[in-house]
Amino acid sequence: MRCLWESHRRGILVTLGLIGLLVLFAIASPRTFLNPRIYRSFLSTIPVTAILALGMTLLVVVGEMDLSFPSVCAAAAYVFAKAFLATGSGAVSFVLAIASGAIMGWINGLIVVSIGVPSIIATIGTQFFWRGLILLLSDGIALSLASVRGTDIYSLFVGRMAGEIPVQSLWCLAIALGLALLLNRHPFGDSLLFIGDNRKTAAMMGIPVAKVRIKAFILMGVLSAFAGVLATLELANWWPTQGEGYMLLVFASVFVGGTSAYGGEGTIYGTLIGAIIIGIIEAGIVSAGLAGFWTRLVHGLIIVVSVSIYATMARRPQDR
Amino acid sequence: MEAMVEMKGIGKSFGSVEALKQVDFQLNPGEVVALLGDNGAGKSTLIKILSGFHSADRGSMAIKGREIDFKAYDVTVARSLGVETVYQERSLGERQPLWRNVFIGRHRLNRWGLIDVKREKMETMELLSSVLGLRGAGLSPDASVETLSGGERQGLAIGRAMHFGADIIVLDEPTTALALSEVGKVLSFIGSIREDGRSCIVISHDLGHVYKVADRFVLMDRGSTVGDYRKGDITPEELMARMIGLNGEVKP
């Protein structure tokens, strides 16, 4: 029992946090939070930020950041929308969108790894660049994809299973499971952990450091593209400022989940729960009768409190 | 008897700095060689060439009689030939559990290409108890490296090399920055390398520590080897005098 607590205490804490919040919201507004409708709505909105946060977790583990993902989401979704309007083929458009995400991630990787620009700076640059490019190409005008409703790709990614469950939530769970295996049970994940822990050690022990870091950026690009396509499909609409609200939510999910900002360790499960916590707060606050303006304040509070708890836990006796 | 390592005329420059001029070096089976010299003598560069981290600009190298093509030689190839280097402070991932450190870069995979964690933890436990005799209370494969003492860390890295069948083990300053009681442990680990019939190169600038365990002493100075003595042929005092002489502090 003690052993279980020792090895999973972050996971247990963040799960208790989520349960506590749900109980609190259910007491404050039972009509909303004891009704399945709100949960159906969560299952369609949370997967987008959760998928982004899952990819970001791997990047944080390897000691990098990607601030360009909101623009990569929007740019890849723009590729999807344009391709769909031109060809009418969901499969072709999807493949093109994912490929564009991979290329944008690869470019981030090249700038950071091959040229040597710190990732936080490089990806601020690419964030502006891709956003600027799609604003130019689209003239700042949204694209309606009404014809995508009812197509195969629509049902595959954002349909409703058994008429109830938004399918994107299952995709999100599958991605979480896949990334958890990748991080904890695959040699690639092991390389991420060691590079994030100590890049020199990793290189001395024969890990192909540059390749692994670039691949981590490509993976983030692919997941950003997927999240962008999900958001566009769900609303059957592409809009040029898509993704702009995601930045803080995604980083909050990662750090509330218990992943260390120093790299070398991270938890996929924690990030998933963190994304749910961050995703339900707004609804909880509004349905409790408070003004929506409270949302940010509470987000901020939860982030500061959770990372402070983790920092206290990580402190070893000799540091005190 | 074929040499484990045979290096001839090795030269290496970094930009305009000539780190190695023309170095000949040989390591025989079952031998512990101490590579001595001051900082900047070229010891680290020489062993980084041996371990595949740098490639030489000039010269030739053979490992167990096999001629090495530097273009196709890296850390992974070196390991597959049995060359393994234990760098001080740089061989272990501090925040990772012991079992991940043992198998870094060469995990045991199951048929789905995933890490066989159960098997790795079992082998790690064996390694901890049998090879190293580490048996601290609560020591488990899940403990992080941070919980080990300096000597135990060196022991883990040496044990790891032996576990994977390395027979040319290079130790980079294994006793620097260790408490005296820890130095003893490390020296006994080095002793166990030889008892196992494997060869070892120990880089050090502290003769006092390595004199006991080494069979031969190779002195380096400013990118060249300047002395090669068997243990029976030289007393520690004479050796010390030559080392100090190189530094130009005392003229012999």
Q: What are phi and psi of B164, to 5 degrees?
A: -95, 15
CATH topology (fold) of B5-93+164-247: Rossmann fold (3.40.50)
How far is CA A167 from each of CA A34, A163, A164, A180, B19, rounded to the nearest angstrom?
22, 10, 9, 20, 61
Chain B residue closest in CA terms to A196: B93
Whether B50 has a pLDDT exceeding 90, the answer reads: yes
Whether A282 has a pLDDT exceeding 70, the answer reads: yes
Of the listed ranges A45-54, B75-84, B140-149, the one predicted with least confidence: B140-149
Q: Quick check: A206 and B90 CB within 8 A?
A: no
Residue A190 touches partner B, C-beta closer than 8 Å: yes
Looking at chain B, the whole-number percentage of residues with pLDDT higher than 70 is 94
Most A CBs within 10 Å, among B49, B74, B76, B90, to test the A interface: B90
User: How far away is chain B from the Cα of A276, in angstroms, using its nearest Cα?
Assistant: 28
> What DSSP assignment string belongs to B116-179?
-HHHHHHHHHHIIIIIS----TT--TTSBGGGS-HHHHHHHHHHHHHHTT-SEEEEESTTTT--
Residue B145 touches partner A, C-beta closer than 8 Å: no
Residue A2 touches partner B, C-beta closer than 8 Å: no
Chain B residue closest in CA terms to A181: B114
Closest CA to B123 of B141, B105, B138: B141
Query: Which whole number is the average pLDDT over A249-253?
Result: 94
How many Å apart are CA B202 and CA B176, to the nearest integer? 12
Of B79, B90, B117, the CB nearest to A200: B90
Q: What are the structural domain ranges in chain B?
A: 5-93+164-247
Strands B5-14 and B168-172: unpaired
Whether B248 has a pLDDT exceeding 60, the answer reads: no
What is residue B249's predicted lDDT score, i.e. its pLDDT?
A: 47
pLDDT band at A320; cut points 50, 70, 90: very low
Residue A297 touches partner B, C-beta closer than 8 Å: no
Chain A residue closest in CA terms to B143: A7
> What DSSP assignment string belongs to B160-172?
HHHHTT-SEEEEE
- Tell me whether residue A268 is exposed, middle or buried, using C-beta atoms within 10 angstroms of its C-beta: 0 to 12, 13 to 18, 19 or more: buried
Total beta-carbon pairs less than 8 A apart between chain A and chain B? 61
pLDDT band at A82; cut points 50, 70, 90: very high
pLDDT in tens, A166-225: 999 999 999 999 999 999 999 999 999 999 999 988 988 889 999 999 999 999 999 999
Q: What are the structural domain ranges in chain A?
A: 38-243
User: How far away is chain B from the Cα of A66, in angstroms, using its nearest Cα?
Assistant: 23
Spell out the residues 6+ positions from residue B168 whose beta carbon is closer than 8 angstroms to its own.
B4, B5, B27, B50, B63, B81, B82, B83, B84, B198, B199, B200, B201
How high is the ipTM of this complex?
A: 0.85
How many Å apart are CA A16 and CA A95, to the nearest integer? 39
Of A7, A181, A201, the CB nearest to B91: A201
pLDDT band at A69; cut points 50, 70, 90: very high
Highest mean pLDDT among A7-21, A167-181, B212-226: A167-181
Query: Which whole number is the average pLDDT over B11-15?
Result: 92
pLDDT band at A232; cut points 50, 70, 90: very high
**Cα-based torsion angle of the residue sequence A60, A306, A178, A182 in order, rounded to the nearest 10 degrees:** 40
Whether B134 has a pLDDT exceeding 80, the answer reads: no
pLDDT in tens, B60-74: 999 998 999 999 998
How many Å apart are CA B193 and CA B157, to the nearest integer? 12
What is residue B188's predicted lDDT score, i.e. its pLDDT?
A: 85
Question: Higher-confidence residue: B188 or B34?
Answer: B34
Looking at chain A, the whole-number percentage of residues with pLDDT higher than 90 is 76
pTM of the model: 0.88
